[in-house]
Structure 1
Amino acid sequence: MPLTHPSLDQLPIRRLTFDDLLACADLSEDRGWLREEHKWRLLLAAGVGYGIDDPAGKGLVTACVVTSYGPGPAGPGFAAIGMVLVAERYARRGVGRRLMRHVLAEAGDTPLSLHATRNGQPLYEELGFTEIGRAEMLKGRFTAAEPAPERTVRPATAEDLQQVLRLDHEIFGADRTHMITRLPAFADHLRVAEEHGEISGFGALWPNMDTHVIGPLIARDPATAQALVASLAAASDRPLRTDVDRTHTALVTWLKANGLEQIATNAVMARGLPELPGDGGRRFAPLTVAAG
């Protein structure tokens, strides 16, 4: 008798592990995304992955990662959903919706955020998410045609960690110690801006296929953010990529004047949150949109 497979709504949803790293990268590639194994490794280490196995033994049908953050100065923590992918051969068959409903049930009352593409946004709206902002994805070779303002920027040291964590907790608005403490190993460069002996901002430059991504980017003002970007860009021989909230018009304009171009826009969406916690005026770029 021929083999039969269970229907898609019967396939079990399971937690992903490091053993699923290549399957996650294969799923990204299947949908025309970059494989991004370095990023997947971080997300699977710092967050919780969910997926459905293909009954035909061809990897994953669908997957996503949820990264949770603890309480911050102004309220409870939240979780970010990212890397929501469905294999092309299973597209438009409801498996992505089913996986998201499972994630929402697991999250319970925890507030949630995500970055949505134009194609994904209707599903998230159906699931109770609302758009609270927009972000521009920028990419290009940094030219330094328009210099950054003068600021003291230097490589971060181990002694800076506690100040960086305090500043991040204040500005990000939630506790992401488990992400920030991974930056020295994850990033190729981690820089801090300093003023009067105090750290006024920090930024990381991490490898992603043929590019370097700038993120997170936390700074007291746009001038400090520009100085951090210029310092990080000088350390790279690759095209740069970053995601900047559209409200940061001065930084976006400056980046475009220095060779970066908009390649996409995403909706910043939330469920159970009127806006992201923390200080959006000093939070210039996420570590990655997948982690909020």
Structure 2
Amino acid sequence: MPTPPSALAQLPIRRLTMDDLLACADLSENRGWPREEYKWGHLLTSGTGYGIDDPSGTGLITCCVVTSYGPGLAAIGMVLVAESYARQGVGRRLMEHVLAEAGDTPLTLHATANGQPLYEQLGFVETSRAEMVRGQFTFTTPAPDVPVRPATADDLQAILRLDREVFGLDRTHIITRLPAFADHLRVAEENGAITGFAAAWPNMETHVVGPLIAKDPATAQALIASLAAATERPLRTDIDVRHTELLSWVKENGIESIADNSVMVHSLPDLPGDWRRRFAPVTVAAG
């Protein structure tokens, strides 16, 4: 028997923990998304999860994760509502709770076509779009000859400085996790200076490329090619659609478009930092 709307409005919203990882993955699967348990583990440890327990006593009826970058920005991701509770105001209630918790902190998220109308009603505006691409890298069109090498522990401070400059905010708590979270971490180096970096982390049967920070498209291409050479898995990443040169190049190398999402902001005219050097996020769920 369906739960009455009045009863749904009374169900408490609580903070999620790592103990909720499987319930979050189950909810992803319920909505036709991959389970992505490895990514959920990263998000629940580096961010703050919110959810509502199913009144039946099994699992969650809705959840999301908020990754904070201090008072300047927080990213919302993995907003999910169980199919049996869809279109009953549950997602709106969760989002309104997140907005209230955020207070004056600006927010960003990647919205699917289905979710975008709700976010617009809540005051989010589109600032760009991101194209999700996936495929087996073919090396058909060579990358430019930009020096790329595996990152070492000695590179971490330079990576953090470059990331803060390009991202526009301090995300030390995310970047310092990359050596353990990612299978491969590469840096581009020219004349002794690091001009870009990229990671490839395991997600189901793919390696996700992200973050991808580079001084120009040529450097971004070299970093992707280096990561592709290190794995036999298909690559997946989310590239800002304004980076037309990079998108064309990855498609020449067997990577196909599979989705197109809206990059939205709340209480902010645009994302901080330099989008020209920010090619892909760690994950669309965390920025």
Letter in structure 1 aligned against 2:130:
A
Give, in angstroms, the shift of residue 58 of structure 1.
1.8
CA–CA separation in structure 1 for the residues paired with 2:131 and 2:169: 23
CA–CA separation in structure 2 for the residues paired with 1:174 and 1:286: 14
Q: 1:32-74: per-residue Cα shift (whole Å, max 9, x none)?
A: 000001111111011000000001012001000000103xxxx
CA–CA separation in structure 1 for the residues paired with 2:109 and 2:177: 21
Conserved 8 A contact 1:211-1:241: yes
So what's the TM-score if we normalise by structure 1? 0.96
**Is it true that 1:267 corresponds to 2:269 in the alignment?**
no
Partner of 2:76: 81
CA–CA separation in structure 2 for the residues paired with 1:180 and 1:256: 28
Partner of 1:127: 122
Partner of 1:106: 101
Partner of 2:243: 248
Partner of 1:73: none
CA–CA separation in structure 2 for the residues paired with 1:77 and 1:191: 28
CA–CA separation in structure 1 for the residues paired with 2:89 and 2:267: 24
Give, in angstroms, the shift of residue 213 of structure 1.
0.4
CA–CA separation in structure 2 for the residues paired with 1:129 and 1:200: 33
**Is it true that 1:227 corresponds to 2:219 in the alignment?**
no
Partner of 1:171: 166
Q: Please list every run of at least 4 consecutive aligned residues from structure 1 whose deviation after the TM superposition is greater than 4 angstroms.
A: none
Tell me the SS of whatever aligns to 1:7. helix
Partner of 2:36: 36
CA–CA separation in structure 2 for the residues paired with 1:279 and 1:170: 8
**Is it true that 1:155 corresponds to 2:150 in the alignment?**
yes
Instruction: Give unmatched runs, 5+ long, in structure 1.
Output: 71-75
**Is it true that 1:60 corresponds to 2:60 in the alignment?**
yes
Give, in angstroms, the shift of residue 151 of structure 1.
1.0
Letter in structure 1 aligned against 2:13:
I
Tell me the SS of whatever aligns to 1:10. coil
CA–CA separation in structure 2 for the residues paired with 1:183 and 1:39: 12
Conserved 8 A contact 1:77-1:175: no
Tell me the SS of whatever aligns to 1:242. strand
Q: 1:228-283: per-residue Cα shift (whole Å, max 9, x none)?
A: 00000001111110000000000000000000110000000000111110000000
**Is it true that 1:199 corresponds to 2:194 in the alignment?**
yes
Aligned Cα RMSD in Å?
Answer: 1.2
Letter in structure 2 aligned against 1:50:
Y
Q: 1:163-211: per-residue Cα shift (whole Å, max 9, x none)?
A: 0000000000011000000001100000000000010000000000011
Partner of 1:190: 185
CA–CA separation in structure 2 for the residues paired with 1:38 and 1:277: 28
Letter in structure 1 aligned against 2:156:
L
CA–CA separation in structure 1 for the residues paired with 2:265 and 2:101: 16
Conserved 8 A contact 1:168-1:218: yes
**Is it true that 1:10 corresponds to 2:5 in the alignment?**
no
CA–CA separation in structure 1 for the residues paired with 2:183 and 2:28: 23
Tell me the SS of whatever aligns to 1:165. helix
CA–CA separation in structure 2 for the residues paired with 1:194 and 1:273: 33
Letter in structure 2 aligned against 1:265:
D
1:145 to 119, 137, 140: 140
Identity %: 74
Letter in structure 2 aligned against 1:81:
I
Tell me the SS of whatever aligns to 2:285. helix
Conserved 8 A contact 1:53-1:59: yes
CA–CA separation in structure 1 for the residues paired with 2:145 and 2:248: 18
Give, in angstroms, the shift of residue 121 of structure 1.
0.1
Partner of 2:19: 19
Aligned residues: 285
